[in-house]
Amino acid sequence: MKLKKQVTVCGAAIFCVAVFSLYLMLDRVQHDPTRHQSGGNFPRDCQFALGGKGQSPDLQMLAVYSLLPFDNQDGGVWKQGFDITYEPNEWDTEPLQVFVVPHSHNDPGWIKTFDKYYYDQTQHILNSMVLKMQEDPRRRFIWSEISFFSKWWDNISAQKRAAVRRLVGNGQLEMVTGGWVMPDEANSHYFAMIDQLIEGHQWLEKNIGVTPRSGWAVDPFGHSSTMPYLLKRSNLTGMLIQRVHYAIKKHFAATQNLEFMWRQTWDPDASTDIFCHMMPFYSYDVPHTCGPDPKICCQFDFKRLPGGRINCPWKVPPRAITDANVAERAQLLLDQYRKKSKLYRSKVLLVPLGDDFRYDKPQEWDAQFLNYQRIFDFLNSRPNLHVQAQFGTLSDYFDALYKKVGIVPGMKPPGFPVLSGDFFSYADREDHYWTGYYTSRPFYKSLDRVLEAHLRGAEILYSLALAHARRAGADGRYPLSDYALLSNARRNLGLFQHHDAITGTAKEAVAVDYGVRLLHSLTNLKRVIINAAHYLVLGDKDTYRHDPAAPFLSTDDTRPNQDSLPERTVVKLDASPRYLVVFNPLEQERLSVVPVLVDSPHVRVLSEEGQPLPSQLSAHWGSATDTVPDIYQVSVLARLPALGLRVLQLHKSFNSHGALKSSVRLYLHGRDLAVRKQEAVPVHVFPATTEDFCLENQHLQACFSGHSGLLQSIRRAGEEREQRVSSEFLVYGTRTSKDKSGAYLFLPDGEAKPYAPKDPPVVRVTEGPLFSEVVSYYQHVQTVVRLYNVPGVEGLSLDVSCLVDIRDHINKELALRFSTDIESDDTFFTDLNGFQIQPRRYQRKLPLQANFYPMPAMAYIQDMQSRLTLHTAQALGVSSLSSGQLEVILDRRLMQDDNRGLGQGLKDNKRTCNRFRLLLEHRATANKVQDGRPISFPSLLSHITSMHLNAEALVMPVAQEKPAPPALRSFMPLSTTFPCDFHILNLRMLQAEDDSLPSAEAALILHRKGFDCSLEAKNLGFNCTTSQGKLALGSLFQGLELGSLQPTSLTLMYPLGTTSNSTNIRLDPMEIATFRIRLG
């Protein structure tokens, strides 16, 4: 296979934005102007974003933040709280019911790798658990991480498995949440959050036959409101959270609001409510869970008995419980229980008993369980104490609470508050805000999303190929074994959602282990996609032969190592045509500029029918001033079918019908640099500084500083006024005091200072018929701003990317700031998990670092006239520190640990490509009242722009050059246009009895997006419309029948309603729905 690999570029197939006006008067590019193109045609679909139906919650987190003083007063023994008092007779009529819940928090990778933790600790914890729980039926234990549990299960005997099923069956062992991991809630994308939840739930159902009822999240660094939604839709009835800002814990404790019904901001009818318990104190360890005084609670952590390896920092050790001391010890502990109970509304109390990797030795089980049982026996035998104490699971606690307040699980307990909003950003003490991890290790945050996009694409294409092969009776020849690769990729992506993985807060060697797993799965998924595409584009399916040694298609790019940027494949041209198969993973047709690297400038691109396609030829640059010899980029304008495969041909062509050439201007700004250019593409070199310049297409004009090459303003077509959108790079330092920034914390030494490189940048401007771009080469960052000269979605925003390399920085963070005239005041908007938008307010009373928030997918600012959205292809930290500004932290290099247990700084920075889209929209019908509400939605254009950025088209060259490959046909799976506001989140084949093979059923997961119609947009180039949430699934897939359709809970554990013959479904805005289907 003659394919050269060449020069790393930023991202698989992107540089980034620029602009130019050359109307392509080609029929294939024109859109039918009579089609419905703005949401405004659908008043009923526009009502949702206006909201206003449901009652407002009792606790609105945005309002709570505005209310609190954040004064951090010394609260005595409970340092961040207050003194708790009670009357001894308070429990006389209704005794205190105490549930002590033993748990062991197992991180699937942090200080050690996943496997090392398993071999050193986790397997011993689970082995002792089976042994020790059987010794006394009163013992209880909860477990949450299925990644570890499934690895252990694979290594234990049938006898031990039966014992586990018994322990689960009789309520001694509870599986809580039941996800593959306990995911980070800041940087994780909702596709991956749901996928790891399904992976865990499917495993539990298949192996133990159990469905989780309660959620347990003690360690994620702040909590997202997406999580309660996903748990509720998976039929869980209660959940617990722990890491919340200490000032909020104190306020909620003082008002008895630590337990609440958590409701989505957009929910009109309370259907998203789920009961949530917030732990009141500093940590989930034993000193901070029995009550307000850690010095006392630590004395009841019997792993710390004298002679062991750990002790109590408060200098009073635990004492073993004997007949002689039990009265005094029990009384001391009961006092803590009663004080803690005063913070809650019911007389039922939850007391977790555990910590990281606890209970790994039989001695520890004995120490904790025997000593506590002695205390319980004493307390329960003294009626005058009015307490009943016992071991319990999390659901034992919730059940007792529901029973006490007289409701069934899932209902709202009378008198408990309703809360909406989220719990970012988190501080555990002083001004130590955990806002650094929103950006830490951005290379892997980016790789995570590349893998996610590939997994979704591979799942869908595999499901479709398998359904078509089965229908044709060809599944015997199809590589069913690809299912094992999919399964492995789900698990590796799931593992990376762990709150020390995607967060960038693990040891360097552990980060490498995650990286190796991610890359391994990425490579495998490319194989799955290639095998499916091969089958689906063959004109004659009977000729299909799967040969693992010689794949029919080549990959679009390769990554030599887990920390390399992708190197794009170069297609070699010769006399016979080369074929390309282009996969569009979106459920909407798209008109896109598809880039391909070739080894000759003499190239012509044709459709499969032989029609010439518009294409642009440009040089391939290896550095600021050097083109790569004998490699060219040809960019093709192609209409790509929804979820489909388009076949293109590349011909070597020496006549004038080839690709249209770009022109290049190179500004050296007085630097004495040699330029290496190629004859085929003209390059004009300008040694000195130049004036500002602009690029434009039919939708907008973007202007740049001649000196810096950076964006200055954007003007939308048909508008007089240009909008100032100036970009600049800034640098944050860290403090000189003992507390410095690290992997978790952002502790800057004041406001950012302008980035000051030692040389002025080399600026390269490319203009051409399909795209134009401006590239600025600085010492630590190379930025590309690209404008597509294409009608529709691609041409309505600027494509921006930054290739960042700060490996020579010391204790610095690099930020990109956009400054505009938008009068956004103190308000900005960030997404939660790519699922929903949460309004934010810049709080002057809080330090700078407190005002940063996670940005997994987008952030925007707006006023009555405009909205500026920054879309991102990777999770990063974002803020708006003054009116009209939006800034994002691109990378951080920190030389020291920040004292949260990691024991390392962040020194393993990579060359990282951060990719964005910048979208400026006009607001047509904005009003102050609406903007004051704690709810906001992107426009349809914004949603689709985000999808384009996150699901790039994959270009796969046919590997075989001679003899000519068999006849290929484009594949168009959908028989109708999908509604604009529906997204196929996944189409996931379910496993057969043999879990390495697929069954006949698949999970179809749909999301109907909520959108704001007040953003005027003309000529969007959508071919889709909206449909009031109605969708006919029966006729959706061309050439396939929908054999059955069963609505289920999110993770397929519960059927919802009966299987009906109707295949028409309806979804409310924002809802995610799962269907168990058979395709064939």
Which positions are annotated as active-site residues? Answer: 219
CB–CB of 278/259 below 8 Å? Answer: yes
Stated as kind and residue range, the H or E segment containing 1042 is: strand 1042-1048
How many Å separate Cα 306 from the centre of its chain?
A: 44
d(CA 920, CA 715): 9
State the number of CA atoms in the 13 A half-sphere of 538 facing the CB.
19
Under 8 Å between Cβ of 582 and 953: yes
Tell me how far apart the alpha carbons of residues 431 and 437 are, in angstroms, rounded to a whole number: 15
Which position has the token pair 């009792």?
A: 58
Measure Cα distances from 67 to 63, 246, 247 in Å: 6, 15, 11
CA pair distance 656, 910, nearest whole angstrom: 43
CA-to-CA separations, 1006 to 336, 510, 989, 1028, in angstroms, rounded: 48, 34, 15, 15
As beta bridge partners, residue 1075 has 1004, 1047
Which residues are within 8 A (CB) of 964 and not within 5 positions of it... i.e. 6 or more apart?
576
Which residues make Cβ contacts (< 8 Å) with residue 983, sequence separation at least 6? 587, 943, 947, 1006, 1007, 1008, 1009
- C-alpha span between 472 and 470 (Å, rounded): 5
Q: Which amino acid is at 664?
A: V
Q: How far is CA 40 from CA 43, 46, 301, 529, in A?
A: 6, 7, 62, 38
Unique residue bearing structure tokens 């993770």:
1051
Q: How far is CA 142 from CA 99, 359, 913, 995, 1003, in A?
A: 13, 12, 41, 26, 29
**What are the tokens at 26?**
């080609």
CA distances from 264 to 270, 619, 860, 1044 (A): 8, 50, 20, 32
| Residues whose CB falls within 8 Å of the CB of residue 1006, separated by 6 or more in sequence, listed in order | 982, 983, 984, 985, 1031, 1065, 1067, 1072, 1073, 1074, 1075
Beta strand pairing call for 812-820 and 827-832: unpaired
Q: Phi and psi dihedrals of 340, rounded to 5?
A: -60, -40
Contact criterion met (CB below 8 Å) for 461 and 1002: no
**CA gyration radius for the chain?**
30
Q: Is 630 left (phi over 0), alpha (psi -120 to 50) or beta?
A: left
Length of the chain equals 1080
- Whole-angstrom distance, CA of residue 478 vs CA of residue 459: 15
CA-CA distance, 790 to 636, in Å (whole number)?
11
